[in-house]
Structure 1
């Protein structure tokens, strides 16, 4: 039931040469955080408007997840919840179809 991404270790996905230098890696993390913050803030602004507000928020969390373990855990939890909801919805839809077909046969 778990996706392949759940099995990958948590941690930075920065290139090796960036991880090799602590100041460069810290700068990289700050840049990723600020970019993710801008994307998430843009998604929050779009929530009351028609458009893909939640999708943009999840894209920002995905950007953070390239660098921060806490965001990777949030993203994994979100993916699991979405998968469970999708299975529930499909089962519900199938049950409705079966009931509808059963009503037509009578």
Structure 2
């Protein structure tokens, strides 16, 4: 599992593309996959302050056979969050199997234009 740390400013949307590939660089087919990403102040906390998913449209499989997907966190969602670090992870479900693709820290910083 990979470690992905994300740092964002709360005065703009966060939008990034990701490629899911083997170590040799071959794409992993994401056709039919669903994703859920959650952020909690601490991993053991019951409350998730941010939930993103393919079901609600913040995570989009851009090219399933090519292993490409995007993650969008809108400025409005970021403004609802308290400044600081959150434990986050991304879980993929494919063919009925749940797999954690990454975990890490999502750090929300104050943006000067907010």
TM-score normalised per structure 1:
0.28
Structure 1 or 2: more helix by fraction:
1
Higher Cα Rg, which structure: 1
TM-score normalised per structure 2:
0.27
